[in-house]
Structure 1
Amino acid sequence: MRILVVEDEVKAADYLRKGLGESGYMVEVAHTGIDGQFLAQESDFDLIILDVMLPGIDGWQLLQIIRRKSQVPVLFLTARDAVEDRVKGLELGADDYLVKPFSYAELLARVRTLLRRGAPREVEHFKVADLQLDVLRRRVVRGAERIVLTNKEFALLQFLMERSGEALSRTQIASQVWQMNFDSDTNVVDVAIRRLRVKVDDPFSIKLIHTVRGVGYTLAVPE
C-alpha cells in the first residue's frame, strides 16, 4: 500500500519514511503543501499523513483541496494539540488526528486501522452542466441526447470530468488515459480531444472542453 507523508521537518519525514517502509509500506514524502498537493493529485495513495504547519499552503487548506476530489484516508500528525485544532481537522474531513510527539507504535496502529477500513467507493457518476457520465453503466448523456464513445474517448472524458475546472497538461492526460510518457512530437492527445469535441461539444451551443494556451485542456462551464 502507498502512503504519502506531507511533513516539512526533514528529520521527522525521514523517520516516518524509514519506519513505515520497514513496516512494508511504499512511502513518498513532500516537504511543502504545494508539493503535497501535486503528489496527491498526480498519484493514487491509500493513506495521506499530513502536518498542519506547512510552507506554501497549510495542512487545513491542503485537506480541503484533497477532499474536493478524493475520500482517501487522511491522518493529521501535528504539534497543534488544542481541542479546537482537533475538532477543525476532523470537521474538514480528516479521518484521525495524532499529536506530536507520538509513539511510533501508536502511529502504526492508527495507520493500520485506517487502511483496514478499505478504499472508499469510487465516484460512479459525474455531472458538469448538462453533461452526465455514468461510470458503471458506461453511459454518457448530454441534455436528452445519448452520446456513444469509444473506450478511450470514455476514459478521456471521465478524466476531464473528474478534474473539472483544472487545467490539465497533455502529459497528465497521456499518462492517465494512455499510460504513456508524452512525446512532444506525438499529437495523440490533441487528436483525441478533437474527436471528443465533435461528439460532446459541436452539436451544442455551450462548449465545455476548452484549450488552455501553453498548458493543455480543461472541461468546465464557461464563465
Structure 2
Amino acid sequence: MNHQLKGIKILLVDDEPNILQFLELGLQNEGFDVETAQDGFAAITVARQFQPHLAILDVMMPGMDGFEVCRMLKKTENIAVIMLTAKEEVEDRVKGLTLGADDYMVKPFSFEELLARIHARIRNHFPNLLGEVVIGPFRIDDRRKEISYDNRVLELSPTEYELLSFLVINHGLVLSKSKILDKVWGYDFGGEENIVEVYIRSLRDKLSDKEHRLIRTLRGAGYRVDLP
C-alpha cells in the first residue's frame, strides 16, 4: 500500500459488479479511500456524502448514464472525472470531454494504465494532495521539485524534473515524443523533437541506466519507464 495516497477519495460507478469489485479491491490496495455505486442516481447520492476527489464513471448504465452523471458532478462538485466505455467511438469521447470529463478509457484496459491516469488527474486537479509520491524506487516531491531514486536525490534541471516526473508517473505506458513535448515543453514549443533524446540521454546518465532497462526506447513509438 502507498500510504501517500491515504485520504484521496475515489468514487467508482459501474453496473457490472465484477468490474466494480475488481477496481475497488485494486484501488484500496493502492491506498485510496473508495466508495462504489451501481447506477447514476446512487452515484449522485454517494458523491454528495463522500465528496470524492475523483470519479470513475462507466458510460453505459441503466437509468442515468455516465454522461449525465458527469454533467451533474461537474456542475456541483470540485472533482476529476475519468469516463469508461466499451466502445471506442469518437462521438462518445467528444461528448464526455465536452461535458467536463478529464480523461477517457476504453474497456478492456489494464489496471496499471488506469492507475497512471488516476495519478495524472489527481496531480493536475489537486496538486497539493500528491505533494510527495512514492512509485517503485522513485520518490517525487512536487513541492520541493525534487526526485529521489533508490534514496538518492538526483541533481536535475527544472526541465529534467518535469520530464522524469512525467515518465515515472506514467510508467508502463509508451509515451511518444510529440506527447512528451506537449506535456513538458508545451504545445507551442517550436524547437526540434530531438531535444527529447538529449534530455533522455542526460536522465539515463544520472540514473546510471547505461543498458536502458529503466527508460526504454521503443523505436518509432517513443519511451517507456519500466520499474524494477
- TM-score, normalisation: structure 2: 0.51
> What percentage of residue pairs aligned between the two structures are identical?
45
Q: Equivalent of 1:50, from 12, 36, 57?
A: 57
Q: How does 1:158-173 map to 2 (within 5 A)?
A: none
Structure 2, gaps ≥5 residues long: 1-7, 128-228
CA RMSD of aligned residues (A): 1.6
Is it true that 1:17 corresponds to 2:32 in the alignment?
no
Cα distance in 2 for residues equivalent to 1:119 and 1:70: 13
Runs of 4+ in 1 over 4 A off after TM superposition: none
* Corresponding residue to 1:70 among 47, 65, 77: 77
* Aligned equivalents of 2:123, 2:56: Cα separation in 1: 16
SS in 2 for 1:48: strand
Structure 2 distance, partners of 1:111, 1:4, is 12
Alignment of 1:121-160 (within 5 A): none
Say which of 20, 43, 48 aligns to 1:36.
43
Q: Report the alpha carbon displacement of residue 80 of structure 1 after superposing the two structures with TM.
A: 2.3
1:15-69 C-alpha deviation (Å, 9 max, x unpaired): 0001111111111110011100111122211110000111221111111111221
Instruction: Output the CA distance in 1 between the equivalents of 2:110 and 2:74.
Output: 28
Measured in 1, the distance between the counterparts of 2:70 and 2:123 equals 21
Letter in 2 for 1:98: M
- 2:111 corresponds to which letter in structure 1? Y
Paired amino acid for 2:18: K
Q: How many correspondences in the alignment?
A: 121
Q: Which runs of 5+ in 1 are unaligned?
A: 121-223
